[in-house]
Amino acid sequence: QARLSTAIRPNLLRYLGACRHWMAEREEPKAPAGQEQVTKIGTGARRIRARYTCSPGYKPVSDCFCVRFSPDDQYLAASFANGAINIYNAESGKQEFVLNNVEGKDGLNMPLPTTQLRWRPHTAQSKTKSVLISVNAEFDGQILHWHIKSGKCLHTITEKGNQLFCLDYFADGSQFATAGRDRLVRVYDEATKRLVQTLQGGDMKETAGHSNRVFSLKYHPQHPHILLSGGWDNTVQVWDTRRGHSVRSLWNCYLCGDSVDFTSDGSQILTGSWRTDKALQLWDFGAGDNAQIAETVEWKSASSQSTCMLFAAQCSKDAGSSMILAGGSQENEAKFFMRPPGGRGVEPFGALINLPKPVFTVDFAPNSRMAAIGSADGLVRVLDIV
């Protein structure tokens, strides 16, 4: 307990920051790292290069918990442990807007970490553009809809007694879902902002729902009734809103961040576990009642024998989900992989290595030409993919 309390800065005395710093403290001490660098892996034509680094300049440094590109590739949003949400120009890295900035406000010297963000998809149903949704880790968790250009909070939903760690929109923006400490998945109607369904438990034969906190949530790209969620109970649950409970499970997936994803066609699931062995895995979603492991992606490469304990894992948003990006702690790095058609034979092609702190979040731009990496050092690094 003493070890935990000394590892946490004053602005992180909330649950999510506490658990992630405690996890980092559990790792074996490392030798001093070399200089941060972008490195090429393999002999393929694709490579990465540094574009810019965003530094919000918060004192003390505030961990970056989530990064997300807007659907039109215009903006990059980043959320921090001090509750602030910074909006950057995706091309230049220039700061455009700041939301939920409570620095200097009376009575708010212990701001709430903004744990995850999602942009509302640009669809015909959305009259107002540039809307961002966020959740926080308050003990009565809040779901906030923001209009980024005016800085106004358009709507607030409170989940009493539940710290919120994750959320996701369905592709057409008609609904969104949240999950967190209480192990339930709640589905909301976007137009009315009303709770329409609470998913819990399983069929009590093959599935039982979650038994611990949930840190990652993802809608199926084509089917609004299918969602994935994962967390500390070593499972990913597959939920079906038509049944109201979990219908399938993926076992031995220890998710501690935003590290479950569907490929764009919905045929495979990507998981990133916080462990050194078999951390990055692809699963065939359509493999009968229980999804089967399609491939365990080897983190080690010819240029590096290190392994990484993953907090974040994402597929690229192009039609074939041709790339994977994942990052975490122990080696404090993020690595890029090529995913061939069919999803077999994944190979690394680049990495951002020797970071001073763990990687907590990653995201591909919708055009798949840029990627963002957020870290516990409070910086957001953006790379070009060429």
pLDDT digits (tens, 9 = 90+) for 350-363: 999 999 999 999 99
pLDDT value at position 291?
73
pLDDT value at position 287?
60
Residues 66/299/28/362 CA torsion (nearest 10 deg):
-10
The angle at the Cα of 57, spanning 52 to 60, to the nearest 5 degrees, equals 135
Nearest to 111 by CA among 176, 253, 14, 208: 14
DSSP, residue by residue, 162-188: --EEEEEE-TTSSEEEEEETT--EEEE
At CB < 8 A and 24+ separation, what contacts does 208-212 make?
Answer: 208/246, 209/183, 209/237, 209/245, 209/246, 210/183, 210/184, 210/235, 210/237, 210/246, 211/183, 212/183
pLDDT value at position 127?
75
| Paired strand residues for 287 | none
Residues 130 and 152: their CA atoms lie apart, in Å, by 11
pLDDT value at position 17?
53
Q: 285's torsion region: left (phi>0), alpha (psi -120 to 50) or beta?
A: alpha
Nearest to 209 by CA among 159, 168, 243, 176: 243
pLDDT value at position 302?
55
pLDDT value at position 3?
34
pLDDT value at position 11?
36
The strand order across the sheet containing 359-364 reads 48-54, 380-385, 370-375, 359-364
Q: 270 — phi, psi (to 5°)?
A: -105, 130
DSSP class of residue 113 equals P
Nearest to 227 by CA among 179, 192, 161, 281: 179
Residues of the chain short of pLDDT 50, as ranges, are 1-15, 18, 22, 25-26, 28-32, 104-108
Q: Is 271 helix (H, G, I), strand (E, B) or coil?
A: strand
Residues 248 and 22: their CA atoms lie apart, in Å, by 31
Contact present, 157 and 188 (Cβ < 8 Å): yes
- Which run of H or of E encompasses 19? helix 15-26
Nearest to 336 by CA among 360, 314, 310: 314
* Residue 147, CA atoms < 13 Å, CB-side half-sphere: 10
pLDDT value at position 305?
76
Contact present, 219 and 171 (Cβ < 8 Å): yes
Say how far residue 329 (Cα) sits from the centre of its chain: 15
Residues 288 and 290: their CA atoms lie apart, in Å, by 6
Residues 172 and 152: their CA atoms lie apart, in Å, by 23
